Homo-oligomer: A and B are copies of this chain.
Amino acid sequence: MDDLKMFREYREKMNEKILSEKNLNINRFFNLDTRVYKDGYLSSKTKEMLGLVSSMVLRCDDCIKYHLIRCKEEGVIREEFFEIFSVALIVGGSIVIPHLRRAVDFLEELEKKQEKEK
């Protein structure tokens, strides 16, 4: 039911397992995957939007969820999300639509959670 919580717990649990294996190249990649979205010449917000649109055109639901969470934390608003979605849709085509449906669903879950926390 609480898709957001399940997503986060599974992600955390499995990341821990993967990193504890101590395969140096995998761990370095994970490290790089965190660093690349940090503020630089482009803001972290912009980079997370880049991550989101990439995940949508490559059609990876879990990656989309992760970047939706991060974009929301960086202050992306609903109207901006739909403009990112529109770019993903035109670039990637109708094959993106099922992922768009799930993205909008997950976004509304994030919005509800934010409402409650106020």
Interface centre among A47, A88, A94, A108 (most CB of B within 10 A): A94
Chain A contact surface mostly: helix
Copies in the complex: 6
Do B91 and A51 have beta carbons less than 8 Å apart? Answer: yes
Do A87 and B47 have beta carbons less than 8 Å apart? Answer: yes
Do B32 and A77 have beta carbons less than 8 Å apart? Answer: no
Considering only CB atoms and an 8 Å cut-off, how many residues of chain A contact the other chain? 64
Residues of B within 8 A of A101 (CB): 10-11, 14-15, 18
Interface residues of chain A, those whose CB is within 8 Å of chain B, are: 10-11, 14-15, 17-18, 21, 23-26, 28-30, 32-33, 35-37, 40-42, 46-47, 49-51, 53-55, 57-63, 77-80, 82-98, 100-102, 104-105, 108
